Amino acid sequence: MDYLVAGSPERARELVEKLTLNSTERLYASAQLALFDGDPTCAFELLGEVDSETARLQQVRLAISGRVRLTPEITPPPGEDPALELGYGTALLAEGFREEGMERLRTIEEGILGAVANLVLAGELDGYDEAEERRLALGRAWRLSNAALRPLILPDYLAAVRDVGGGRGIAGELERLRGEVEVGSPPWIDLTVWLIQAREPFEARDVAWELAGYAPEEAFAILGELEPCLPIELPRLAALALEVDDTELARKAIDGISLSPAVFLLKGEYEHAIGRPRQALAQYAEIFDDPELGGLARLYAGVTELSRDRRAAAEVHWSRVAMAGVPTELAGTYLERDALLVTAKADYYRANLRRYTSPEEAAELYADALAGGLSGKERARAAWRLATLRAASGEWTEAAEAFTQAAYDPAYRPHVEYWQPRMKQLAGLDTEPPAYNWAYPFYELPVRGVRWWVLPETAELTLRGVFADLLYTRPEDEELALLLTLASVADDDLFTSYANVVERYHPDDPDANAALAQAYARRGFEIGDYVVLPEIVYAGRALANYEPGALSVLGVLPLAYPLTYLDATLKAAGTFGIDPLLLLALVREESRFDSEIVSKAGAVGLTQKMPATAAMLAAELELHDYDLRDPTDSLLLGAAYLRKMLDRHDGNLALALAGYNAGPGNARHWVKSFEELPPDVWLLLEPFDETRRYIIRVVGSYYRYRQLYGE
């Protein structure tokens, strides 16, 4: 199976021929080969001869996807496995056998799969005379559901019961559930939205404004449907409309506000939002001297000037920012949040302007912004930039302190886990070694003393044969186990909807992301679709939040680092004397193995070559007929360019990758500093931010590929 998924069918055929004739293993493997060859009917028949749950689930998936036609005559009789009954029922419905499909679904009466079966049934009960039966099915689904299923059930259930006056009873249940989850979390937001829908309009307004502080878009949509706002609510509604980019409603709300300083601030924000900076600046100027709103007006005027590339004018405004506040009618809006941090934001914006021209001044401004309470992602960016400026000045202890503040943002945490102790090490302080980093394997290398900028010898590539087993590992958590089941037995809409809720409710949960990676890989594998982008993304998130001992998370490493286009990769790498695992790592980071991808800059294909660069390389290779979207051509041209960069920099992998990403001219400027600094410190300080991240990702992926398949 691993060779098929890697796009190496001939090697897979050789292995199948060695299996015992008519054995379960050979029948199952032959079915996968038939599917790879584009014969799903043959695959379905071969799977029918395999006595295993895995084979039956794959048969169901093939039927639901429409690759084979399932009829009542060839459907197995009802059994005791509710997952298969759900799958057979769904497949029969997809083929138009309504009564037969619904009958299979009605046999599933209990448990979480009972909730799913009733949800699918309700979707079929769309006739006028079926309304009551639909309501009852949705009610059963609601009672049997888990948290992740509720968003798929409750909107329709509320609509169904509203006609018979059952909404108030549900409201009490929603209030109870809302009190059990964290305020502002995705489940809380969903429960609040449903609670508003279950209540009468006059009862819902206060809850909607409560929601606005955590989910402005959802609150805005609800408030727009309720009775017209009271005059005192118009400023808040205008601010909310601006926050969600509804400029038309913002204008209407602003027009209804009595003249006050807040009107000028809101009008300025409105003019900026619709792309009229001069008019925006005129509005802000009206309240520059206002003791309450003047600071915000200066802050936003600077942002508007910067949008016109008037950096000096922006600097003037930000240097004059003083403390600010907002009137009570704007309480709870983004304007109030900005007012609380107005001087910190101004210092942060000024520091960004001076980051390259006056690094010492920028460092002091970043420090002031952090001391002033700067929050969110801006705080993490300020801390990271301050740390790099301190490191560039050799202030290692101060750099370590700044890196610590960047760790509050999960996106920065894996990097801080390396750089913070590394700065202490350079300062000569006692410190624990950097933590083992599964998300960014690059950081393991300096800790282990690996000279990562020097190309190692090419290792023999070996597949481990773990792919199929990984896809059918069952999580203990009920929500995640259902996700894996739905990967096989649900249609696209149901599976995708449930997967989206799992992702939204558990964005940083490593087990949830590992299950999502498995589910998408399994869903594709069962129909012979080996697109790997979803599993790379979810497996990467799982590893980023890995906690020691979570072995189930480490099991998704092969999904995070696939061997897609293996045969073409081996050929291209062999042509130019490159380790194929290095080429795979480069493709993983450039395109996530999407052969059709085109970047904003115009780079195309697996190895992301610009058309002009590709034309130059093709001429050198006498490759007259090529297509950058063709995997074989893209890999050949990418390998040629990587070989050129390696030769230009005497095999230095760091500089070669810098040249591949930022261009050979930029890489040439960094040669001297590479010779003067420790290689990891050079990587932190010298290349462009994008290029630094690129080198970290490619080198880290290369060594992870070597760990999985070459060592």
Distance CA 398, CA 477 (A): 44
Q: Cβ atoms within 10 A of the Cβ of 702, count?
A: 29
8 A C-beta contact, residue 293 and residue 265? yes
Rounded distance between C-alpha atoms, residue 70 and residue 454, angstroms: 57
Element (H, E) at 238: helix 234-243
Helix (H, G, I), strand (E, B) or coil at 527: coil
Q: Are 526 and 494 in contact (CB under 8 A)?
A: no
Distance CA 255, CA 236 (A): 13
Cα 580 from Cα 562, distance rounded (Å):
13
Exactly one of 95, 315, 590, 686 is catalytic; which is it? 590
Strand partners, 454: 652
**Residue 330 Cα distances to 221, 288, 342, angstroms:** 19, 18, 15
Dist. CA 557–CA 552, nearest whole Å = 10
Report the C-alpha gap between 219 and 229 in whole angstroms: 13
Q: Is 80 a catalytic residue?
A: no
Residues 6+ apart with CB under 8 A from 648: 656, 659, 664
DSSP string, 243-306: HTT-HHHHHHHHHTSPSSHHHHHHHHHHHHHTT-HHHHHHHHHTTTT-TTTHHHHHHHHHHHHH
How many C-beta neighbours within 10 Å does residue 230 have? 9
User: Of the candidates 397, 241, 404, 272, which has an alpha carbon nearest to the alpha carbon of residue 334?
Assistant: 241
- Distance between CA atoms of 252 and 363, rounded to whole angstroms? 43
HSE toward the beta carbon, residue 557, CA cutoff 13 A: 20
Start-to-end C-alpha separation, the chain? 21
Catalytic residues: 590
